[in-house]
């Protein structure tokens, strides 16, 4: 399972971006460029945070597996 955390982080960030942007399109009917860039910034932040946490969770699992 080495390196799968990057793909899972991308999946989580993409899902949040799509849900957020779709909600704003349905709710407000009018999307400005600032709303898109705000959602893009949220995507980048969520991607980096989830990649960071998932990498360390994977390291914990690998270390636990080595102990056994």
**Per-position pLDDT tens, the chain of length 68:** 466 778 888 888 899 988 888 888 888 777 788 888 888 898 999 999 998 888 888 888 888 888 87
Domain holding 30, by residue range, is: 4-67
42 Cβ partners below 8 Å, 6+ apart? 16, 17, 20
Domain tally, the chain: 1
Q: Which residue reads 């942007």 in tokens? A: 21
Report pTM.
0.75
Measured distance CA(37)–CA(51) in Å, rounded? 21
């Amino acid at each position: 399972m080495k390196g799968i955390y990057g793909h899972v982080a991308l999946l989580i960030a993409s899902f949040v971006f799509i849900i957020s942007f779709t909600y704003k399109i349905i709710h407000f009917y009018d999307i400005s460029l600032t709303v898109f860039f705000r959602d893009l910034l949220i995507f980048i932040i969520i991607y980096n945070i989830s990649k960071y946490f998932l990498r360390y969770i994977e390291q914990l699992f690998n270390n636990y597996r080595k102990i056994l």
